[in-house]
Amino acid sequence: MSPLAFSVLRRLSDGEFHSGEAIARDLGVSRGSVWNALRSAEETGTRVFKVRGRGYCLPDGLDWLDRKQVLESAREHAEEFQIEIHDGVSSTSTLLLERGSCEPSGKVVAAELQTAGRGRRGRAWRCGLGEGVTFSLLWRFDQGPAFLAGLSLAVGVGLTRAFDELGADGTRLKWPNDVLHAGGKLAGTLIELQGEMQGPSAAVIGVGINVRLGGASRRSVDQPVADLAAAGAALSRSRVLGVVLAHLARVLRDFEKSGFEPFVEPWIARHAYQDSPVSLLLPDGGVLEGTARGVDRDGALLLQTRSGIRRLFGGEVSLRVRS
């Protein structure tokens, strides 16, 4: 969407009707420009009501991110983060990776709308305007990338703890980087690393969280999905981001000291498919079947097969549960 489209939508965020003439006058543009801006917003899935004689209305309003509220929700960890909120970007992680060497640890880039969010195996992360929280966090480590094995799993533990605090009970973890609720994907992470073999290194931690999905977003995803609202946490996006950052700060500080080992048991306790039959889709197209037996201190999935325990790492491996 264009910058003008975001400006127009902010005028409609109260859920009331506003005439195109009034909006155009306030923004110093033509009524035709307002109409075109709203049409571009509708193409992203945003619902806009139009009534002759009354104007335009967003029936559900819009919940915009507010930096002050995010920091208030992060509480004692607020000073650990430098938060930058954009209206629209292609990818928050791409933006941070491009600027990584110039940014401090704790830099957060969040977006109201992300148009080319990335998941594992080249998949896109789709979420409409105001329906989720998408952000990337840069965190620096003294150690090299090898030390960061299991980081995505530790981040998953942090997300489930945050969701507990927000009131979303019953979240579970799917190896290696998804958070589930009632069998649907609630959140996902993608971690990209930079740095020297012996250190230091930096991780760009991309996170997508479904807060309150609309019908169009649900229909655009080819797998079961969940959101915080349905899980019992109907909260503002700013509070969600702040609470999540607070829990990630604790997890990352602990990870700096001890790696993934302290998170092994907490991760297994949340494992959605612990001791269940699963199939692993391998990069070469093959399938490996067995029983999931948790993870080890390096974040590898332990798969019980007929020939014994196999250790598998994330990469391009994808897990599916067998009925």
Exactly one of 120, 126, 172, 270 is catalytic; name it: 120
User: What CATH number has the domain bearing residue 22?
Assistant: 1.10.10.10
Please indicate, yes or no, whether residues 203 and 303 belong to a single structural domain of this protein: no
Structure confidence at residue 278 (pLDDT): 94
Query: In which residue ranges of the chain is pLDDT below 70?
Result: 117-125, 216, 315-316, 323
E strands, 196-283, where? 201-210, 277-281
Residue 254: inside a domain: yes
Q: Percent of the chain, pLDDT > 70?
A: 96
Structure confidence at residue 123 (pLDDT): 62
Structure confidence at residue 93 (pLDDT): 94
Q: Look at residue 129 and give its three-state secondary structure.
A: coil
Please indicate, yes or no, whether residues 244 and 300 belong to a single structural domain of this protein: no
d(CA 251, CA 217): 31
Structure tokens at 179: 């958070």
Residue 159: inside a domain: yes
H or E stretch covering 20: helix 20-27
Structure confidence at residue 150 (pLDDT): 95
322 among known catalytic residues: no
Please indicate, yes or no, whether residues 204 and 242 belong to a single structural domain of this protein: yes
Structure confidence at residue 285 (pLDDT): 84
Structure confidence at residue 66 (pLDDT): 96
Exactly one of 185, 212, 239, 270 is catalytic; name it: 185
Q: Which of 252, 269, 286 is the last residue of a domain?
A: 269
Please indicate, yes or no, whether residues 114 and 152 belong to a single structural domain of this protein: yes
Q: Whole domain around residue 103: which residue ranges?
A: 67-269
10 among known catalytic residues: no
Please indicate, yes or no, whether residues 227 and 97 belong to a single structural domain of this protein: yes
d(CA 158, CA 164): 10
User: Contact, 153 vs 272, CB < 8 A?
Assistant: no
pLDDT 10s digits, 133-188 = 999 999 999 999 999 999 999 999 999 999 999 999 899 999 999 999 999 999 99
Please indicate, yes or no, whether residues 179 and 251 belong to a single structural domain of this protein: yes
Structure confidence at residue 99 (pLDDT): 86
89 to 94, 95, 109, 231, 309: CA distances (angstroms)? 9, 8, 10, 28, 43
* Maximum Cα–Cα distance across the chain: 73
Structure confidence at residue 106 (pLDDT): 97
Structure confidence at residue 218 (pLDDT): 75
Exactly one of 25, 75, 250, 320 is catalytic; name it: 320
Residue 205: inside a domain: yes
d(CA 24, CA 33): 8
Length, in residues, of the chain: 323
Q: Which of 228, 252, 269 is the last residue of a domain?
A: 269
pLDDT 10s digits, 185-218 = 999 999 999 888 888 999 999 999 999 988 767 7
Please indicate, yes or no, whether residues 162 and 79 belong to a single structural domain of this protein: yes
185 among known catalytic residues: yes
